[in-house]
Amino acid sequence: MKPISKLEAVIQCKCPRCRQGDIFSGSMYSISLKGQITNEFCPHCNLRFEREPGFFYVSMFISYAMNVAEMITASVAAYILGLPLVYENLWYYVGLLLLTVFVCSPFNYRYSRVFLLHWLTPGLGYVPGSGDK
């Protein structure tokens, strides 16, 4: 099987070591809570995803940064599309930002963990042929 690129592995939420096993147990585009469960081990190469107790707490900071970027993008888009930035429209902006956070939360949950595993974990990289039997 031809190995996939790092970018493809990140987009498809694949294991950082073998790039074949799924990080999450459910479907990638599932909005159910069962789809948001992180596997304990890679089903292909048996890599333990939670490197140490509390490892995924760092993903909260990544998710926070993603939320800030999404809220700024939504606010700028609303302004460009014609919603003036005046006091009378304050609650429209608040509602828009809350909706943005709510809609993007499954995406942020998944990809904050994927970014942590792929780019912010030292010593964890692609090993060709890992998990092959």
Band (pLDDT 50/70/90 cuts) for residue 131 is low
In a domain, 83, yes or no: yes
Write the single-letter amino acid at 49.
F
In a domain, 124, yes or no: no
Look-up: residue for tokens 């998710």? 63
pLDDT of 27 > 80? The answer is no
pLDDT at res. 36: 79
pLDDT of 29 > 70? The answer is no
* Structure-token pair, residue 112: 């904050």
In a domain, 18, yes or no: yes
Tell me the whole-structure pTM to 2 decimals: 0.84
At 53-69, the pLDDT tens digits run 888 899 999 999 999 99
In a domain, 128, yes or no: no
In a domain, 126, yes or no: no
**Total domain count, the chain:** 1
pLDDT at res. 1: 65
